[in-house]
Structure 1
Amino acid sequence: MKKFVICAIAAALLVVTTNAQKAFTCPEANGQFEDPVQCDKYYECKDGVAHEKLCPDGLVFDESIRKVNKCDQPFNIDCGDRTELQPPKSNALCPRRNGFFAHPDATVCNIFYNCIDGDAIENKCTAGLHFDEYSGTCVWPDSAKREGCQETGKKLSDGFECPKSAPLDPSGQAVAHPKFPHPTDCQKFYVCLNGVEPRDLGCQVSEVYNEETQRCDAPENVRGCEDWYKEADEKKN
């Protein structure tokens, strides 16, 4: 009797497995194809036989990618109606094992984490920007619209305010988002969104702001900032 029950269970499992394999029909004999309901699941077809696969936790599948690895960040892929995902494998800083995620403290808006197989690498947005999980990038606060983040006012904490009269371009038109150098820090500068909303920004390390070109530049190209990083190193030492 026990042998009969065991055989019956084994037969039932075989039927379930066989039905699951038959549930997906390979569109072509060979290739990788998306699951119709789960965005991080796909099928690898070999000689017309489908083998179920999962993307690494946090990534989703896009069969249009012309690479062997067709799993990518969710903000790069439109899953459409494929809304289901595998259960998350999370830890303190990584809601899923892979991806870009906001700081767990909702009031910390300029720090985010790049999670790679569960290891979190901390990143910081350029001054004045907030991290946006929907795009995976740092954007202006009014674009991110993060709850718990304070909107920048008309006056920055260091006292900078946008001038009432916007500077003009060579054609005599008002500059939409004028930039201004920081009075004491060669690496920093200000930008006035629409001429009225001040933001403080900064060049990457090794560069300083060039008021003439309105761009970040090498220190030797900016008068008065040639030794900016040399002086900073001396102060540290």
Structure 2
Amino acid sequence: MKLLALTILALASLANAQFKCPPKDGQYEDARQCDKYYECVDGIAHEKLCPDGLVFDPLIRKRNKCDQPFNVDCGDRTELQPPQPKGVCPRLNGFFAHEDPATCNKFYNCIQGDHTEITCTAGLHFDEYSGTCVWPDSAGRQGCNAQTNTLKDGFKCPTEAQKDANGNLAVHPKYAHPSDCQRFYVCLNGVEPRDLGCQVGEVYNEESQRCDAPENVPGCEDWYKDEPAAAPKKV
């Protein structure tokens, strides 16, 4: 047992001996392993590892130089420590795609093995290379389940871009309901529809793209004629 301990100590000393500390004390990257680094104190190298899932970035000026892999250019430092998976987390720390490859709009934020499930904004997919939600064509993921983009009444978001009342491209375009003056649709990011409605006494004005008084919307002037209590009071 004592011989084994001495052998391990000797191997560790040999590994550290292969790294020569620069004249200035500090933290320095390993030549091959991206999550390994050396802390030099009085010219002596102490081998360290980043928390599982993080990698060492020598360019960070703060004391803790371990960061998310998508923030660090590892270059030729392609090796990593063995993963320590826990639950849905492939490694203890990081941002990871949902375990179902067909679920592209959800991902996990893992911190020391504890995960939080996050859903991307409507119409976006998670991209592991950037750690963010991006447009599907940028993520380039295959086999994703199509999100439900048709409402119960059959409405689907038009593919043509829409401009808002100021002439700018609408991020969340709105559309009037074909038969109900009080209701309208909003397409989140232009792809995911929502069925909304104006407050009682108002109708949707497609020209101004906002709820308005019935008399300002041609064809909807008498929408509340059978509901006197809902009709706006005339001044």
TM-score (norm 2): 0.68
- Cα deviation per residue 1:58-104 (whole Å; 9 max; x = unaligned)? 00000110111000000011111100000000023100000001110
Q: Which of the residues 111, 114, 120 maps onto 2:115?
A: 120
Q: Distance in 2 between matches of 1:95 and 1:185?
A: 43
Q: Output aligned runs, 1:174-185, within 5 Å.
A: 179-181=172-174
Q: Which of the residues 102, 113, 119 maps onto 2:97?
A: 102
Percent of pairs identical after alignment? 53
- Cα deviation per residue 1:166-219 (whole Å; 9 max; x = unaligned)? 54997x8xx667641265578x5344xxxxxx52289xxxxxxxx9999xxxxx
- Cα deviation per residue 1:123-148 (whole Å; 9 max; x = unaligned)? 11111111111110111111112122
Q: Distance in 1 between matches of 2:23 and 2:208?
A: 55
Question: 1:185–1:116: structure 2 CA closer, same or farther, 3 Å change rule?
Answer: farther
Q: Distance in 2 between matches of 1:59 and 1:165?
A: 41
Q: Which amino acid aligns with 1:180?
A: P
Number of the residue aligned with 1:137: 132
Q: Output aligned runs, 1:1-237, within 5 Å.
A: 15-150=10-145, 156-158=149-151, 159-162=155-158, 167=163, 179-181=172-174, 188-191=186-189, 198-200=190-192
Offset at residue 109 of structure 1 (A) = 1.2
Q: Distance in 1 between matches of 2:70 and 2:175?
A: 34
- Cα deviation per residue 1:3-48 (whole Å; 9 max; x = unaligned)? xxx77x7776665343222100112331000001000000000011
**Residues 88 and 99, structure 2, Cα contact 8 Å, conserved in 1:** yes
Q: The residue matched to 1:127 in structure 2 has which SS?
A: coil
**Residues 125 and 138, structure 1, Cα contact 8 Å, conserved in 2:** yes
Q: Which amino acid aligns with 1:199?
A: V
Question: 1:179–1:69: structure 2 CA closer, same or farther, 3 Å change rule?
Answer: same
**Residues 157 and 192, structure 2, Cα contact 8 Å, conserved in 1:** no
Q: Which amino acid aligns with 2:187?
A: F
Q: The residue matched to 2:191 in structure 1 has which SS?
A: strand
More helix by share: 1
Q: The residue matched to 1:88 in structure 2 has which SS?
A: coil
Q: Distance in 2 between matches of 1:69 and 1:201?
A: 44
Q: The residue matched to 1:143 in structure 2 has which SS?
A: helix
Question: 1:142–1:48: structure 2 CA closer, same or farther, 3 Å change rule?
Answer: same
Q: Distance in 2 between matches of 1:24 and 1:49?
A: 9
Q: The residue matched to 1:100 in structure 2 has which SS?
A: strand
Q: Which amino acid aligns with 2:90?
A: P
Q: Which amino acid aligns with 2:26?
A: G
Q: Distance in 1 between matches of 2:100 and 2:32?
A: 32
**Residues 173 and 187, structure 2, Cα contact 8 Å, conserved in 1:** yes
Q: Which amino acid aligns with 1:98?
A: N
Backbone CA RMSD of aligned residues: 3.5
Question: 1:14–1:69: structure 2 CA closer, same or farther, 3 Å change rule?
Answer: closer
Q: Which has the larger radius of gyration?
A: 2
